[in-house]
Structure 1
Amino acid sequence: MARDSKSKAVKKKGGLGRGLEALFEDETQNKETEEVQELELSAIRPNPYQPRKKFDDKSLKELSDSIKENGVFQPIIVRKSVNGYEIIAGERRYRASKLAKKTTIPAIVRQFNESQMMEVAVLENLQREDLTPLEEAQAYEMLQKNLGLTQEEVSQRMGKSRPYIANYLRLLTLPNKTKHLLQHGDLSMGQARTLLGLKDKDKIDDLAKKVAKEGIPVRKVEALVSEINAKKPRKKTNKKSAFIRASETQLSDKFGASVNISETKKGKGHLSIDFASSDELNRILDILGVNLDD
Protein backbone atom coordinates (compact mmCIF):
# COMPACT_ATOMS: atom_id res chain seq x y z
CA MET A 1 0.00 0.00 0.00
CA ALA A 2 1.47 3.37 -1.04
CA ARG A 3 0.08 5.36 1.82
CA ASP A 4 2.88 6.07 4.32
CA SER A 5 2.53 5.49 8.07
CA LYS A 6 2.05 9.13 8.98
CA SER A 7 -0.96 8.59 11.25
CA LYS A 8 0.96 6.09 13.37
CA ALA A 9 3.91 8.45 13.66
CA VAL A 10 1.67 11.33 14.69
CA LYS A 11 0.50 9.34 17.70
CA LYS A 12 4.06 8.73 18.77
CA LYS A 13 5.24 12.29 18.20
CA GLY A 14 2.01 14.10 19.05
CA GLY A 15 1.57 17.47 20.72
CA LEU A 16 3.64 19.47 18.26
CA GLY A 17 2.37 22.95 19.04
CA ARG A 18 0.18 24.38 16.28
CA GLY A 19 0.54 21.21 14.20
CA LEU A 20 0.23 20.68 10.46
CA GLU A 21 -3.54 21.15 10.52
CA ALA A 22 -3.19 24.73 11.79
CA LEU A 23 -0.59 25.55 9.14
CA PHE A 24 -2.88 24.22 6.41
CA GLU A 25 -6.00 25.83 7.86
CA ASP A 26 -5.99 29.04 5.81
CA GLU A 27 -5.03 27.17 2.67
CA THR A 28 -7.81 24.58 2.91
CA GLN A 29 -10.83 26.86 3.22
CA ASN A 30 -11.57 26.21 -0.46
CA LYS A 31 -10.78 22.52 -0.12
CA GLU A 32 -13.95 21.52 -1.95
CA THR A 33 -12.68 23.17 -5.14
CA GLU A 34 -9.13 21.84 -4.91
CA GLU A 35 -8.08 19.83 -7.89
CA VAL A 36 -5.67 16.91 -7.89
CA GLN A 37 -3.33 17.27 -10.83
CA GLU A 38 -0.89 14.85 -12.44
CA LEU A 39 2.41 16.73 -12.41
CA GLU A 40 5.62 15.76 -14.14
CA LEU A 41 8.15 14.47 -11.61
CA SER A 42 10.87 16.27 -13.54
CA ALA A 43 9.19 19.61 -12.77
CA ILE A 44 9.16 19.02 -8.99
CA ARG A 45 11.94 19.75 -6.51
CA PRO A 46 12.21 18.79 -2.81
CA ASN A 47 11.41 21.32 -0.10
CA PRO A 48 14.60 23.38 0.33
CA TYR A 49 13.95 23.43 4.09
CA GLN A 50 13.70 19.65 4.41
CA PRO A 51 15.55 18.79 7.66
CA ARG A 52 15.68 15.05 6.99
CA LYS A 53 18.86 14.07 5.14
CA LYS A 54 18.62 10.30 5.51
CA PHE A 55 15.80 8.21 4.00
CA ASP A 56 15.61 4.53 4.86
CA ASP A 57 16.44 2.64 1.65
CA LYS A 58 14.48 -0.49 2.58
CA SER A 59 11.34 1.43 3.52
CA LEU A 60 11.62 3.55 0.36
CA LYS A 61 11.98 0.41 -1.81
CA GLU A 62 8.88 -1.14 -0.19
CA LEU A 63 6.87 2.01 -0.92
CA SER A 64 8.24 2.08 -4.45
CA ASP A 65 7.14 -1.51 -5.08
CA SER A 66 3.67 -0.67 -3.77
CA ILE A 67 3.46 2.38 -6.05
CA LYS A 68 4.39 0.22 -9.04
CA GLU A 69 1.52 -2.09 -8.19
CA ASN A 70 -1.16 0.30 -6.92
CA GLY A 71 -0.09 3.85 -7.70
CA VAL A 72 0.03 6.78 -5.25
CA PHE A 73 -3.13 6.93 -3.12
CA GLN A 74 -2.42 10.23 -1.32
CA PRO A 75 -1.45 13.24 -3.46
CA ILE A 76 1.63 15.21 -2.49
CA ILE A 77 1.25 18.93 -1.78
CA VAL A 78 3.36 21.43 -3.72
CA ARG A 79 3.63 25.13 -4.35
CA LYS A 80 4.37 26.87 -7.66
CA SER A 81 7.89 28.20 -7.90
CA VAL A 82 9.81 30.20 -10.49
CA ASN A 83 10.90 27.01 -12.20
CA GLY A 84 8.31 24.28 -11.70
CA TYR A 85 7.11 23.21 -8.24
CA GLU A 86 8.51 22.73 -4.74
CA ILE A 87 7.26 20.03 -2.39
CA ILE A 88 5.42 21.20 0.71
CA ALA A 89 4.60 17.70 1.99
CA GLY A 90 5.17 14.23 0.58
CA GLU A 91 8.85 13.98 -0.35
CA ARG A 92 8.94 10.28 0.54
CA ARG A 93 6.17 9.53 -1.98
CA TYR A 94 8.00 11.70 -4.52
CA ARG A 95 11.27 9.79 -4.04
CA ALA A 96 9.55 6.41 -4.16
CA SER A 97 7.72 7.37 -7.37
CA LYS A 98 11.02 8.27 -9.02
CA LEU A 99 12.46 4.97 -7.84
CA ALA A 100 9.44 3.22 -9.39
CA LYS A 101 10.30 4.90 -12.74
CA LYS A 102 7.06 6.89 -12.73
CA THR A 103 6.96 10.06 -14.82
CA THR A 104 4.06 11.82 -13.04
CA ILE A 105 2.58 12.01 -9.54
CA PRO A 106 -0.82 13.19 -8.23
CA ALA A 107 -0.44 16.56 -6.51
CA ILE A 108 -2.37 19.47 -5.03
CA VAL A 109 -0.99 22.96 -5.67
CA ARG A 110 -1.27 25.46 -2.80
CA GLN A 111 0.11 28.90 -2.03
CA PHE A 112 2.64 28.89 0.80
CA ASN A 113 5.21 31.49 1.82
CA GLU A 114 8.79 30.72 2.90
CA SER A 115 7.92 30.70 6.61
CA GLN A 116 5.07 28.23 6.10
CA MET A 117 7.25 26.03 3.87
CA MET A 118 9.83 25.76 6.62
CA GLU A 119 7.36 25.04 9.41
CA VAL A 120 5.58 22.35 7.40
CA ALA A 121 8.87 20.65 6.55
CA VAL A 122 9.94 20.65 10.19
CA LEU A 123 6.59 19.57 11.63
CA GLU A 124 5.99 16.83 9.07
CA ASN A 125 9.37 15.32 9.80
CA LEU A 126 9.20 15.67 13.58
CA GLN A 127 6.04 13.58 13.44
CA ARG A 128 7.97 10.70 11.89
CA GLU A 129 9.70 7.95 13.81
CA ASP A 130 12.95 7.90 11.84
CA LEU A 131 14.22 11.48 12.22
CA THR A 132 17.63 11.31 13.91
CA PRO A 133 18.38 13.39 17.05
CA LEU A 134 20.84 15.47 15.02
CA GLU A 135 18.29 16.16 12.29
CA GLU A 136 15.76 17.15 14.95
CA ALA A 137 18.31 19.54 16.47
CA GLN A 138 19.04 21.02 13.04
CA ALA A 139 15.32 21.51 12.48
CA TYR A 140 15.01 23.56 15.66
CA GLU A 141 18.09 25.58 14.73
CA MET A 142 16.60 26.23 11.28
CA LEU A 143 13.44 27.65 12.83
CA GLN A 144 15.51 29.88 15.11
CA LYS A 145 17.80 31.27 12.44
CA ASN A 146 15.54 31.52 9.39
CA LEU A 147 12.41 32.71 11.19
CA GLY A 148 14.26 34.77 13.79
CA LEU A 149 12.64 32.92 16.69
CA THR A 150 13.91 32.79 20.25
CA GLN A 151 14.34 29.42 21.94
CA GLU A 152 11.17 30.09 23.94
CA GLU A 153 9.18 30.78 20.75
CA VAL A 154 10.48 27.57 19.16
CA SER A 155 9.44 25.58 22.24
CA GLN A 156 5.94 27.11 22.12
CA ARG A 157 5.47 26.39 18.41
CA MET A 158 6.70 22.83 18.76
CA GLY A 159 4.78 22.13 21.97
CA LYS A 160 8.00 21.16 23.75
CA SER A 161 9.61 22.45 26.94
CA ARG A 162 12.46 24.92 26.68
CA PRO A 163 15.00 22.52 28.28
CA TYR A 164 13.96 19.87 25.73
CA ILE A 165 14.76 22.23 22.84
CA ALA A 166 17.98 23.40 24.54
CA ASN A 167 19.24 19.85 25.03
CA TYR A 168 18.76 19.05 21.36
CA LEU A 169 20.46 22.28 20.26
CA ARG A 170 23.45 21.35 22.42
CA LEU A 171 24.05 18.36 20.15
CA LEU A 172 25.05 20.79 17.40
CA THR A 173 28.14 21.76 19.43
CA LEU A 174 29.52 18.20 19.20
CA PRO A 175 32.62 17.73 17.02
CA ASN A 176 31.99 16.46 13.50
CA LYS A 177 33.18 12.86 13.99
CA THR A 178 30.86 12.43 16.96
CA LYS A 179 28.00 14.02 15.01
CA HIS A 180 28.60 11.42 12.29
CA LEU A 181 28.23 8.59 14.83
CA LEU A 182 25.04 10.14 16.18
CA GLN A 183 23.59 10.69 12.71
CA HIS A 184 24.15 7.07 11.70
CA GLY A 185 22.71 5.61 14.90
CA ASP A 186 26.01 4.46 16.41
CA LEU A 187 25.42 6.80 19.36
CA SER A 188 22.15 7.44 21.17
CA MET A 189 20.83 10.84 22.20
CA GLY A 190 21.64 10.02 25.85
CA GLN A 191 25.20 8.93 25.08
CA ALA A 192 25.88 12.00 22.94
CA ARG A 193 24.43 14.37 25.52
CA THR A 194 26.57 12.80 28.25
CA LEU A 195 29.72 13.23 26.15
CA LEU A 196 29.09 16.97 26.15
CA GLY A 197 29.98 16.89 29.84
CA LEU A 198 33.66 16.36 29.01
CA LYS A 199 35.54 19.46 30.02
CA ASP A 200 38.31 18.79 27.50
CA LYS A 201 36.31 18.98 24.27
CA ASP A 202 39.25 17.57 22.28
CA LYS A 203 38.64 14.20 23.95
CA ILE A 204 35.00 13.87 22.86
CA ASP A 205 35.68 12.17 19.51
CA ASP A 206 37.96 9.51 20.98
CA LEU A 207 35.54 8.66 23.79
CA ALA A 208 32.59 8.70 21.38
CA LYS A 209 34.36 6.16 19.17
CA LYS A 210 34.99 3.92 22.18
CA VAL A 211 31.39 4.24 23.38
CA ALA A 212 30.00 3.40 19.93
CA LYS A 213 32.36 0.46 19.38
CA GLU A 214 31.76 -1.13 22.78
CA GLY A 215 28.10 -0.16 23.14
CA ILE A 216 28.72 1.42 26.53
CA PRO A 217 25.43 2.33 28.28
CA VAL A 218 24.73 5.90 29.37
CA ARG A 219 25.38 5.28 33.09
CA LYS A 220 28.85 3.95 32.36
CA VAL A 221 29.49 6.82 29.93
CA GLU A 222 28.67 9.21 32.77
CA ALA A 223 31.22 7.41 34.97
CA LEU A 224 33.87 7.59 32.24
CA VAL A 225 33.25 11.31 31.73
CA SER A 226 33.56 11.94 35.48
CA GLU A 227 36.75 9.90 35.61
CA ILE A 228 38.34 11.77 32.69
CA ASN A 229 37.30 15.13 34.09
CA ALA A 230 38.84 14.24 37.45
CA LYS A 231 42.19 13.53 35.80
CA LYS A 232 42.42 17.02 34.41
CA PRO A 233 45.05 19.04 36.34
CA ARG A 234 43.39 21.71 38.42
CA LYS A 235 43.72 23.48 41.72
CA LYS A 236 42.77 21.44 44.71
CA THR A 237 39.27 22.25 45.84
CA ASN A 238 36.91 20.92 48.43
CA LYS A 239 34.59 18.12 47.33
CA LYS A 240 31.36 19.57 45.99
CA SER A 241 28.31 19.21 48.18
CA ALA A 242 25.18 17.43 46.97
CA PHE A 243 23.46 20.84 46.81
CA ILE A 244 26.13 22.26 44.48
CA ARG A 245 26.07 19.20 42.22
CA ALA A 246 22.27 19.33 42.01
CA SER A 247 22.44 23.05 41.25
CA GLU A 248 24.90 22.42 38.41
CA THR A 249 22.59 19.79 36.93
CA GLN A 250 19.51 22.02 37.07
CA LEU A 251 21.34 25.01 35.61
CA SER A 252 22.83 22.86 32.84
CA ASP A 253 19.33 21.72 31.85
CA LYS A 254 17.99 25.27 31.99
CA PHE A 255 20.74 26.81 29.84
CA GLY A 256 21.40 23.78 27.66
CA ALA A 257 25.11 24.19 28.40
CA SER A 258 27.75 22.89 30.80
CA VAL A 259 27.69 24.77 34.12
CA ASN A 260 30.39 24.66 36.80
CA ILE A 261 30.05 25.99 40.35
CA SER A 262 33.14 26.18 42.55
CA GLU A 263 33.18 27.17 46.20
CA THR A 264 35.93 29.24 47.77
CA LYS A 265 36.63 30.26 51.32
CA LYS A 266 34.21 32.23 53.48
CA GLY A 267 31.14 31.11 51.55
CA LYS A 268 32.13 32.81 48.32
CA GLY A 269 32.21 31.02 44.99
CA HIS A 270 32.40 31.11 41.20
CA LEU A 271 29.82 30.12 38.56
CA SER A 272 30.75 29.55 34.90
CA ILE A 273 28.63 28.67 31.85
CA ASP A 274 30.35 27.11 28.85
CA PHE A 275 29.42 28.09 25.29
CA ALA A 276 30.89 26.97 21.98
CA SER A 277 29.85 29.81 19.66
CA SER A 278 28.47 33.33 19.57
CA ASP A 279 25.04 31.91 18.69
CA GLU A 280 25.10 29.77 21.83
CA LEU A 281 26.19 32.79 23.92
CA ASN A 282 23.28 34.82 22.52
CA ARG A 283 20.91 31.95 23.36
CA ILE A 284 22.14 31.91 26.98
CA LEU A 285 21.84 35.70 27.25
CA ASP A 286 18.29 35.39 25.91
CA ILE A 287 17.43 32.91 28.67
CA LEU A 288 18.89 35.31 31.25
CA GLY A 289 16.82 38.13 29.82
CA VAL A 290 19.89 40.14 28.84
CA ASN A 291 19.27 42.41 25.83
CA LEU A 292 22.47 44.19 24.78
CA ASP A 293 20.56 46.33 22.29
CA ASP A 294 18.80 48.23 25.10
Structure 2
Amino acid sequence: MSNNKKNRGLGRGLSALMADVGPEPTPSATTPARPDLIVPIERVFPNPDQPRRSFTPDQLEDLAASIKAKGIIQPIIVRARPSNKDEYEIVAGERRWRAAQMAQLHDIPVLLREFSDTEVLEVAIIENIQRADLNPVEEAMGYRQLMDKFGHTQEKLAEELGKSRSYLANLMRLLQLPSDVQELLVEGKISAGHARALITSDDPSALAKQVVAQGLSVRATEALTKKKPDTGVSAGAKPRSGSTEKDADTKALEGDLSAAIGMQVQIAHKPGGESGQISIKYASLDQLDEICRILSVT
Protein backbone atom coordinates (compact mmCIF):
# COMPACT_ATOMS: atom_id res chain seq x y z
CA MET A 1 0.00 0.00 0.00
CA SER A 2 1.32 3.44 -0.85
CA ASN A 3 2.73 5.57 1.97
CA ASN A 4 0.87 8.65 0.74
CA LYS A 5 -2.56 7.20 1.43
CA LYS A 6 -3.29 10.01 3.95
CA ASN A 7 -3.51 7.37 6.67
CA ARG A 8 -6.71 5.99 5.18
CA GLY A 9 -7.82 2.39 4.84
CA LEU A 10 -6.53 -0.85 6.24
CA GLY A 11 -3.42 0.78 7.66
CA ARG A 12 -5.63 2.38 10.31
CA GLY A 13 -7.41 -0.86 11.15
CA LEU A 14 -11.01 -2.04 10.99
CA SER A 15 -12.22 0.41 13.65
CA ALA A 16 -10.97 3.35 11.58
CA LEU A 17 -12.80 2.08 8.50
CA MET A 18 -15.95 1.77 10.59
CA ALA A 19 -15.51 5.34 11.83
CA ASP A 20 -15.38 6.52 8.22
CA VAL A 21 -18.61 4.73 7.36
CA GLY A 22 -20.57 5.39 10.54
CA PRO A 23 -24.24 4.46 11.03
CA GLU A 24 -26.75 6.15 8.78
CA PRO A 25 -28.40 9.07 10.63
CA THR A 26 -32.05 9.01 11.54
CA PRO A 27 -34.47 11.08 9.45
CA SER A 28 -35.10 13.27 12.53
CA ALA A 29 -31.51 14.53 12.54
CA THR A 30 -31.30 18.17 11.46
CA THR A 31 -27.60 19.09 11.44
CA PRO A 32 -25.82 18.00 8.24
CA ALA A 33 -22.24 16.73 8.54
CA ARG A 34 -19.53 18.83 6.88
CA PRO A 35 -18.65 17.43 3.44
CA ASP A 36 -15.31 17.65 1.62
CA LEU A 37 -16.95 18.58 -1.68
CA ILE A 38 -20.29 19.39 -3.29
CA VAL A 39 -20.39 17.67 -6.68
CA PRO A 40 -22.93 17.29 -9.50
CA ILE A 41 -24.89 14.10 -8.97
CA GLU A 42 -24.28 12.99 -12.57
CA ARG A 43 -20.54 12.76 -11.83
CA VAL A 44 -21.09 10.17 -9.09
CA PHE A 45 -21.41 6.48 -10.01
CA PRO A 46 -22.23 3.33 -7.99
CA ASN A 47 -19.58 0.78 -7.10
CA PRO A 48 -19.92 -2.11 -9.60
CA ASP A 49 -18.73 -4.55 -6.91
CA GLN A 50 -21.23 -3.41 -4.27
CA PRO A 51 -22.20 -6.64 -2.42
CA ARG A 52 -25.72 -5.39 -1.68
CA ARG A 53 -27.90 -5.54 -4.78
CA SER A 54 -31.44 -5.03 -3.45
CA PHE A 55 -32.87 -1.66 -2.44
CA THR A 56 -36.43 -1.64 -1.10
CA PRO A 57 -38.55 0.85 -3.11
CA ASP A 58 -40.67 1.91 -0.11
CA GLN A 59 -37.59 2.67 1.98
CA LEU A 60 -36.00 4.61 -0.89
CA GLU A 61 -39.18 6.67 -1.27
CA ASP A 62 -39.19 7.49 2.46
CA LEU A 63 -35.52 8.47 2.31
CA ALA A 64 -36.12 10.57 -0.82
CA ALA A 65 -38.91 12.45 0.96
CA SER A 66 -36.60 13.13 3.92
CA ILE A 67 -33.80 14.30 1.60
CA LYS A 68 -36.17 16.58 -0.29
CA ALA A 69 -37.20 18.17 3.02
CA LYS A 70 -33.87 18.32 4.86
CA GLY A 71 -31.14 17.49 2.34
CA ILE A 72 -28.50 14.76 2.70
CA ILE A 73 -27.51 14.78 6.37
CA GLN A 74 -24.56 12.41 6.08
CA PRO A 75 -22.31 12.95 3.03
CA ILE A 76 -21.72 10.05 0.66
CA ILE A 77 -18.23 8.52 0.85
CA VAL A 78 -16.56 8.39 -2.57
CA ARG A 79 -13.19 7.88 -4.19
CA ALA A 80 -11.89 9.16 -7.51
CA ARG A 81 -13.24 6.90 -10.24
CA PRO A 82 -10.38 4.69 -11.54
CA SER A 83 -11.41 5.22 -15.17
CA ASN A 84 -11.87 8.99 -14.87
CA LYS A 85 -10.37 11.13 -12.10
CA ASP A 86 -12.94 13.87 -12.72
CA GLU A 87 -15.72 11.49 -11.70
CA TYR A 88 -16.40 9.69 -8.43
CA GLU A 89 -17.27 6.14 -7.40
CA ILE A 90 -19.43 5.46 -4.33
CA VAL A 91 -17.69 3.71 -1.47
CA ALA A 92 -20.56 3.97 1.03
CA GLY A 93 -23.99 5.60 0.72
CA GLU A 94 -25.53 4.23 -2.46
CA ARG A 95 -29.02 4.33 -0.89
CA ARG A 96 -28.64 8.06 -0.26
CA TRP A 97 -27.40 8.57 -3.83
CA ARG A 98 -30.38 6.70 -5.29
CA ALA A 99 -32.80 8.56 -3.03
CA ALA A 100 -31.18 11.89 -3.98
CA GLN A 101 -31.86 11.10 -7.63
CA MET A 102 -35.50 10.40 -6.77
CA ALA A 103 -35.60 13.73 -4.90
CA GLN A 104 -34.20 15.38 -8.07
CA LEU A 105 -31.13 16.85 -6.37
CA HIS A 106 -28.58 18.34 -8.78
CA ASP A 107 -25.62 18.43 -6.36
CA ILE A 108 -24.73 16.15 -3.45
CA PRO A 109 -22.24 16.40 -0.53
CA VAL A 110 -19.39 13.87 -0.54
CA LEU A 111 -16.42 12.83 1.57
CA LEU A 112 -13.46 12.09 -0.71
CA ARG A 113 -11.28 9.19 0.40
CA GLU A 114 -8.39 7.23 -1.09
CA PHE A 115 -9.24 3.55 -1.00
CA SER A 116 -7.89 0.59 -2.94
CA ASP A 117 -10.29 -1.85 -4.61
CA THR A 118 -9.86 -4.19 -1.63
CA GLU A 119 -10.60 -1.45 0.89
CA VAL A 120 -13.69 -0.35 -1.06
CA LEU A 121 -15.11 -3.87 -0.78
CA GLU A 122 -14.32 -4.03 2.93
CA VAL A 123 -16.01 -0.69 3.62
CA ALA A 124 -19.05 -1.78 1.58
CA ILE A 125 -19.37 -4.93 3.69
CA ILE A 126 -19.00 -2.93 6.92
CA GLU A 127 -21.69 -0.50 5.79
CA ASN A 128 -24.06 -3.36 5.03
CA ILE A 129 -23.44 -4.96 8.43
CA GLN A 130 -24.27 -1.70 10.19
CA ARG A 131 -27.68 -1.48 8.52
CA ALA A 132 -30.51 -2.07 10.99
CA ASP A 133 -32.70 -3.99 8.54
CA LEU A 134 -30.29 -6.85 7.88
CA ASN A 135 -31.65 -10.29 8.69
CA PRO A 136 -29.47 -12.64 10.78
CA VAL A 137 -28.25 -14.60 7.73
CA GLU A 138 -27.16 -11.44 5.87
CA GLU A 139 -25.39 -10.18 8.99
CA ALA A 140 -23.62 -13.52 9.51
CA MET A 141 -22.54 -13.59 5.86
CA GLY A 142 -21.10 -10.09 6.26
CA TYR A 143 -18.96 -11.22 9.19
CA ARG A 144 -17.91 -14.32 7.28
CA GLN A 145 -16.83 -12.15 4.32
CA LEU A 146 -14.73 -9.96 6.59
CA MET A 147 -13.02 -13.04 8.02
CA ASP A 148 -12.51 -14.89 4.73
CA LYS A 149 -11.54 -11.99 2.48
CA PHE A 150 -9.53 -9.84 4.86
CA GLY A 151 -8.21 -12.20 7.53
CA HIS A 152 -10.07 -10.66 10.47
CA THR A 153 -10.35 -13.08 13.39
CA GLN A 154 -13.63 -13.63 15.22
CA GLU A 155 -12.09 -12.25 18.42
CA LYS A 156 -10.83 -9.09 16.67
CA LEU A 157 -14.17 -8.55 14.94
CA ALA A 158 -16.01 -8.82 18.26
CA GLU A 159 -13.65 -6.29 19.83
CA GLU A 160 -13.84 -3.79 16.94
CA LEU A 161 -17.62 -4.09 16.51
CA GLY A 162 -18.33 -3.82 20.23
CA LYS A 163 -20.06 -7.20 20.32
CA SER A 164 -19.40 -10.28 22.41
CA ARG A 165 -17.54 -13.17 20.86
CA SER A 166 -20.43 -15.48 21.75
CA TYR A 167 -22.79 -13.20 19.80
CA LEU A 168 -20.65 -13.52 16.68
CA ALA A 169 -20.12 -17.25 17.18
CA ASN A 170 -23.85 -17.94 17.61
CA LEU A 171 -24.74 -15.77 14.64
CA MET A 172 -22.19 -17.35 12.30
CA ARG A 173 -23.29 -20.84 13.31
CA LEU A 174 -26.49 -20.08 11.37
CA LEU A 175 -24.48 -20.44 8.17
CA GLN A 176 -24.11 -24.16 8.93
CA LEU A 177 -27.84 -24.64 8.30
CA PRO A 178 -29.08 -25.93 4.92
CA SER A 179 -30.06 -23.22 2.44
CA ASP A 180 -33.78 -23.98 2.74
CA VAL A 181 -33.68 -23.42 6.51
CA GLN A 182 -31.69 -20.21 6.04
CA GLU A 183 -34.38 -19.06 3.60
CA LEU A 184 -37.09 -19.62 6.22
CA LEU A 185 -35.07 -17.44 8.59
CA VAL A 186 -34.62 -14.73 5.94
CA GLU A 187 -38.37 -14.76 5.26
CA GLY A 188 -39.12 -14.44 8.97
CA LYS A 189 -40.95 -17.75 9.17
CA ILE A 190 -38.59 -18.89 11.93
CA SER A 191 -36.54 -16.80 14.35
CA ALA A 192 -32.81 -16.88 15.03
CA GLY A 193 -33.65 -18.77 18.23
CA HIS A 194 -35.45 -21.46 16.24
CA ALA A 195 -32.54 -21.63 13.79
CA ARG A 196 -29.91 -22.03 16.53
CA ALA A 197 -31.93 -24.87 18.04
CA LEU A 198 -32.10 -26.62 14.65
CA ILE A 199 -28.32 -26.56 14.11
CA THR A 200 -27.78 -29.59 16.35
CA SER A 201 -30.49 -31.61 14.61
CA ASP A 202 -29.66 -34.53 12.30
CA ASP A 203 -32.32 -33.30 9.84
CA PRO A 204 -32.81 -29.55 10.33
CA SER A 205 -34.77 -29.17 7.08
CA ALA A 206 -37.49 -31.62 8.12
CA LEU A 207 -37.71 -30.21 11.64
CA ALA A 208 -37.86 -26.64 10.31
CA LYS A 209 -40.90 -27.53 8.21
CA GLN A 210 -42.51 -29.06 11.29
CA VAL A 211 -41.75 -25.94 13.34
CA VAL A 212 -43.38 -23.69 10.71
CA ALA A 213 -46.39 -25.97 10.17
CA GLN A 214 -47.13 -26.29 13.89
CA GLY A 215 -46.08 -22.78 14.90
CA LEU A 216 -43.76 -24.13 17.57
CA SER A 217 -42.04 -21.86 20.06
CA VAL A 218 -38.25 -21.77 20.43
CA ARG A 219 -38.46 -23.84 23.63
CA ALA A 220 -40.66 -26.43 21.92
CA THR A 221 -38.19 -26.54 19.03
CA GLU A 222 -35.30 -27.13 21.43
CA ALA A 223 -37.24 -29.99 23.00
CA LEU A 224 -37.99 -31.39 19.56
CA THR A 225 -34.32 -31.45 18.55
CA LYS A 226 -33.41 -33.33 21.74
CA LYS A 227 -36.03 -36.01 21.11
CA LYS A 228 -34.39 -39.12 19.67
CA PRO A 229 -36.00 -41.18 16.89
CA ASP A 230 -37.93 -44.25 17.98
CA THR A 231 -35.38 -47.06 18.24
CA GLY A 232 -37.56 -49.55 20.06
CA VAL A 233 -36.16 -48.57 23.45
CA SER A 234 -38.84 -47.53 25.93
CA ALA A 235 -38.91 -43.93 27.09
CA GLY A 236 -38.18 -45.01 30.66
CA ALA A 237 -35.14 -47.08 29.77
CA LYS A 238 -31.84 -45.94 31.22
CA PRO A 239 -29.24 -44.60 28.82
CA ARG A 240 -26.41 -46.86 27.84
CA SER A 241 -23.35 -46.82 30.03
CA GLY A 242 -20.90 -44.17 28.95
CA SER A 243 -23.45 -41.85 27.32
CA THR A 244 -23.24 -38.42 28.95
CA GLU A 245 -24.58 -34.97 28.28
CA LYS A 246 -21.90 -32.60 26.99
CA ASP A 247 -20.91 -29.86 29.40
CA ALA A 248 -21.43 -26.18 28.59
CA ASP A 249 -17.72 -25.55 27.92
CA THR A 250 -17.57 -28.33 25.34
CA LYS A 251 -20.70 -27.07 23.61
CA ALA A 252 -19.30 -23.53 23.56
CA LEU A 253 -16.03 -24.77 22.09
CA GLU A 254 -17.93 -26.70 19.42
CA GLY A 255 -19.81 -23.52 18.57
CA ASP A 256 -16.62 -21.45 18.34
CA LEU A 257 -14.85 -23.98 16.12
CA SER A 258 -17.93 -24.40 13.92
CA ALA A 259 -18.23 -20.64 13.45
CA ALA A 260 -14.51 -20.29 12.75
CA ILE A 261 -14.44 -22.77 9.86
CA GLY A 262 -18.06 -22.56 8.73
CA MET A 263 -18.70 -26.29 9.18
CA GLN A 264 -20.25 -28.41 11.91
CA VAL A 265 -17.70 -29.53 14.50
CA GLN A 266 -18.38 -32.12 17.21
CA ILE A 267 -16.12 -32.88 20.16
CA ALA A 268 -16.19 -36.22 21.95
CA HIS A 269 -14.17 -35.75 25.14
CA LYS A 270 -13.73 -38.64 27.51
CA PRO A 271 -15.03 -37.56 30.96
CA GLY A 272 -12.25 -37.35 33.51
CA GLY A 273 -9.56 -37.88 30.89
CA GLU A 274 -7.41 -35.76 28.60
CA SER A 275 -8.12 -37.50 25.30
CA GLY A 276 -11.01 -37.31 22.88
CA GLN A 277 -12.00 -36.94 19.27
CA ILE A 278 -12.96 -34.04 17.00
CA SER A 279 -15.14 -34.64 13.95
CA ILE A 280 -15.85 -32.15 11.18
CA LYS A 281 -18.91 -32.56 8.97
CA TYR A 282 -18.52 -31.21 5.43
CA ALA A 283 -21.38 -30.75 2.97
CA SER A 284 -19.42 -30.53 -0.28
CA LEU A 285 -16.06 -31.32 -1.85
CA ASP A 286 -15.25 -27.62 -1.70
CA GLN A 287 -15.60 -27.75 2.06
CA LEU A 288 -13.39 -30.85 2.15
CA ASP A 289 -10.78 -28.93 0.17
CA GLU A 290 -11.05 -26.10 2.69
CA ILE A 291 -10.45 -28.52 5.58
CA CYS A 292 -7.37 -29.85 3.82
CA ARG A 293 -6.13 -26.31 3.21
CA ILE A 294 -6.56 -25.37 6.87
CA LEU A 295 -4.81 -28.49 8.11
CA SER A 296 -1.92 -28.09 5.68
CA VAL A 297 -1.09 -24.53 6.76
CA THR A 298 2.23 -24.48 8.63
What is the TM-score normalised by the length of structure 1? 0.70
Question: Partners in 1 of 2:128 and 2:42 — Cα distance?
Answer: 24
Aligned with residue 188 of structure 2, among 168, 176, 185: 185
- Counterpart position of 2:122: 119
Question: Percent identity over the alignment?
Answer: 34
Are 2:245 and 1:251 aligned? no
Question: Partners in 2 of 1:280 and 1:169 — Cα distance?
Answer: 17
- Counterpart position of 2:64: 64
Contact 1:182 1:189 in 2 (8 A): yes
The code of the aligned residue for 1:251 comes to: L
1:273/1:153 CA distance change after superposition, 3 Å:
farther
| Structure having the larger proportion of residues in helix | 1
Contact 2:72 2:96 in 1 (8 A): yes
The code of the aligned residue for 2:253 comes to: L
- Counterpart position of 1:168: 171
SS at match of 1:48: coil
1:127/1:187 CA distance change after superposition, 3 Å:
same
Are 2:83 and 1:80 aligned? no
SS at match of 2:140: helix
- CA shift for structure 1 position 258: 4.5
Question: Partners in 2 of 1:174 and 1:133 — Cα distance?
Answer: 12
Aligned positions, number:
258
1:176/1:254 CA distance change after superposition, 3 Å:
closer
- Counterpart position of 2:26: none
Question: Partners in 2 of 1:172 and 1:158 — Cα distance?
Answer: 20
- Counterpart position of 1:97: 100
- Counterpart position of 2:4: none
Contact 1:36 1:108 in 2 (8 A): no
What is the TM-score normalised by the length of structure 2? 0.69
Question: Partners in 1 of 2:171 and 2:185 — Cα distance?
Answer: 12
Question: Partners in 2 of 1:168 and 1:38 — Cα distance?
Answer: 41
Aligned with residue 280 of structure 2, among 274, 278, 283: 274
Contact 1:197 1:258 in 2 (8 A): no
Question: Partners in 1 of 2:223 and 2:191 — Cα distance?
Answer: 17
1:144/1:69 CA distance change after superposition, 3 Å:
same
TM-superposition CA deviations, 1:85-133 (whole Å, max 9, x none): 3322212212323444556543333211234323322333333321111
Unaligned runs of 5+ in 1: 1-16, 25-30, 286-290
- CA shift for structure 1 position 45: 1.0
- CA shift for structure 1 position 267: 7.5
Aligned with residue 141 of structure 1, among 132, 140, 144: 144
SS at match of 2:114: coil
The code of the aligned residue for 1:259 comes to: Q
Supply the RMSD in Å over aligned alpha carbons: 3.9
SS at match of 1:85: strand
- CA shift for structure 1 position 222: 0.8
The code of the aligned residue for 1:62 comes to: D
